[in-house]
């Protein structure tokens, strides 16, 4: 099985299991806790799935300001967890291909494997929810057709992205491409770099 097919399978499992309860506050249980890359893929998609629904909730025009602020903090934390998981997945590939002899004319890709996999995870969610919209019993025929057309495009996009991911991994394994991963350099979560947090930190400390 190609890696993209494997990843898509794990993403579907995660999305389907989330929607059994369809509750952002449900307890997360990873069924692949003892399998390194499978565990990471499942956890990555679960984070994306919960955040997808956070984003739905926060767009409620009648949401209370306090609840919106709390949810915004959850989204911020979710984004941090998401990027952490991307780094962990890239670390898996760095370790897997560490002994590959890189060819002299090898090139670097525009993004690392894990960031492409991140897009594949989000695409799995778009497909799931567009499928829901394309089958809604209370929707107009115009809406259903529009969503079916969009679904077909998303499915084509998944095929193309899956092919590109598998080709990238094949090229890395053969030494035709090489990985170079830049660690996060986010400034807004850093108490010394975000001026608001820095002032608050020093004021509290003083």
Measured distance CA(167)–CA(109) in Å, rounded = 11
Measured distance CA(118)–CA(85) in Å, rounded = 9
Nearest alpha carbon to residue 181 among 78, 77, 80, 97: 97
pTM, entire model: 0.89
**Structure confidence at residue 164 (pLDDT):** 98
3-state SS class at 110: coil
pLDDT in tens, 72-94: 999 999 999 999 999 999 999 99
Residues 146, 136 contacting (CB under 8 angstroms): no
Is residue 188 pLDDT above 80, yes or no? Answer: no
Give the pLDDT band (50/70/90) at residue 182: confident
Is residue 106 pLDDT above 70, yes or no? Answer: yes
Q: Strands 107-108, 177-178: parallel, antiparallel or unpaired by DSSP?
A: parallel
**b/e sequence 64-75, b meaning 16+ C-beta within 10 Å:** eeeeeeebeebb
Is residue 205 pLDDT above 60, yes or no? Answer: no
**Structure confidence at residue 189 (pLDDT):** 66
- Over residues 179-205, the mean pLDDT reads 69
3-state SS class at 61: coil
**Structure confidence at residue 154 (pLDDT):** 98
Query: What is the chain's mean pLDDT, rounded?
Result: 92
């Amino acid at each position: 099985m190609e890696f993209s097919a494997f990843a898509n399978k794990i993403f579907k499992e995660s999305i389907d299991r989330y929607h059994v309860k369809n509750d952002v506050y449900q307890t997360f249980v990873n069924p692949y806790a003892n399998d390194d890359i499978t565990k990471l893929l499942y956890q990555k998609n679960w984070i994306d799935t919960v955040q997808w629904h956070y984003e739905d909730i926060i767009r409620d025009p009648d949401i209370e300001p306090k609840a919106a602020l709390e949810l915004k903090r959850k989204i911020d934390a979710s984004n941090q967890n998401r990027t952490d998981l991307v780094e962990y997945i890239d670390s898996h590939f760095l370790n897997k291909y560490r002994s590959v002899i890189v060819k002299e004319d090898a090139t670097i890709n525009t993004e690392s494997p894990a960031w492409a996999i991140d897009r594949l995870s989000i695409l799995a969610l778009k497909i799931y929810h567009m499928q829901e919209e394309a089958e809604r019993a209370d929707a107009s025929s115009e809406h259903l057709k529009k969503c079916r057309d969009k679904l077909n495009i998303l499915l084509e996009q998944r095929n193309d992205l899956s092919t590109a991911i598998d080709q990238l991994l094949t090229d890395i394994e053969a030494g035709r491409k090489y990985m170079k991963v830049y660690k996060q350099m986010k400034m807004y979560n850093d108490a010394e770099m975000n001026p608001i947090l820095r002032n608050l930190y020093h004021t509290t400390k003083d």
